[in-house]
Structure 1
Amino acid sequence: MRPTLAPADFTDWNDLLGLIHASFAYMDGRIDPPSSAHALTPKTLRQRSKTEHLYLATPPLIGCAFFAEQPGALYIGKLAIASGAQGKGLGRAFIEQAEILARGLGLPRLRLETRIELVGNHAAFAALGFVRTAERSHPGYDRITSIVMEKPLSQSGSA
């Protein structure tokens, strides 16, 4: 299944929120501070889709990602895959769509953040060509809480 840009008339915001919450639930109790997914609402997702590129894997809704244009990079946020669809290449398909979009926008790299505790995510993104480029601390924390990973893109279509 190939993720596609959400249609302009997309209205399943409650289902999208449910997908994100279910996909991120494994982080509860593992990361500190808690995931920002807890602060999302159908309304905030709808608003976010007006300023970012929302890609979906449907039907049924089994995956999503928000792609945000940043200076020098396309940021991948809230990449969520339904549990029954994990391990089947859908995450890689979202990354491939991000690469296509980034190249079309003239952006030379992909960027994402992942929590310091989620070493499995670090390895999964490294296997897709991402490298650790920075460490960050959430406000109020005196330790590293997340890492930034980037994937440089060639303009020819392969990285």
Structure 2
Amino acid sequence: MEELLDLIMRAFAYMDGVIDPPSSAHRLTVENLREKCAAEIAFVALEGERLVGCVFLAERTDHFYLGKLAVDPSYQGRGTGRLLLKAAEEAAVAGGKPRIELQTRVELTANQTAFAQMGFVETGRSAHAGFDRPTSITMRKALA
């Protein structure tokens, strides 16, 4: 769990000082990450024995919510994120859900573009508590 938490924190570090409010990754601990792994479907990507990526799927009524997609910064651009997304999509289809949903931050335009290129479309915007402007973008992908 320590290695998984470290991976997420390194992968999300670029958001520090860019997004407001700060990423929920900062609230993760070994204990609540262990609980997340028990409550959701977790996928990891390994290079040999090294943990280089992860993603979580949480079941909802009509879809799966995809969260904490993280790839070690030194492995980004090698297709690891796409492989993790593919595994998540296959699990969602096997689980009988026709859609995957995620949220990305308004400030992270490169993430929005990347998710759009992978078939996600924006379905809404929302504000974190205490904000009078949208802070998150909800995106969904229909699955075959």
Whether 1:67 aligns to 2:61 is no
Deviation at 1:99, TM superposition (A): 1.0
- TM-score (normalizing by structure 1): 0.88
Instruction: Report the count of equivalent residues.
Output: 142
Partner amino acid, structure 1, of 2:5: L
Q: Distance in 1 between matches of 2:34 and 2:101?
A: 22
Give CA deviations for 1:5-51 in whole Å, capped at 9, x if unaligned.
xxxxxxxx111110000000000000000000000000000011111
- Normalised to the residue count of structure 2, the TM-score between the two structures is 0.97
Q: Quick one: which amino acid aligns to residue 110 of structure 1?
A: I
The one-letter amino acid paired with 2:75 is A
Q: Note the alpha carbon deviations across 1:78-119, whole angstroms, 9 max, x for none.
A: 010001110011111111111110111100011100000000
Q: Name 1:108's counterpart in structure 2.
A: 98
Q: Does 1:24 align with 2:12?
A: yes
Shift of 1:72: 1.1
Partners of 1:37 and 1:143 lie apart in 2 by 21
Which amino acid is 2:33 matched to? L
* Of 36, 39, 46, the match for 2:34: 46
Separation (CA, whole Å) in 1 of partners of 2:64 and 2:80: 19
SS class of match (2:51): coil
Give the aligned CA root-mean-square deviation in angstroms: 0.6
Q: Distance in 1 between matches of 2:17 and 2:111?
A: 16
Q: Is the 8 A contact 2:53 2:69 kept in 1?
A: yes
Q: 2:125 aligns with which of 127, 135, 138?
A: 135
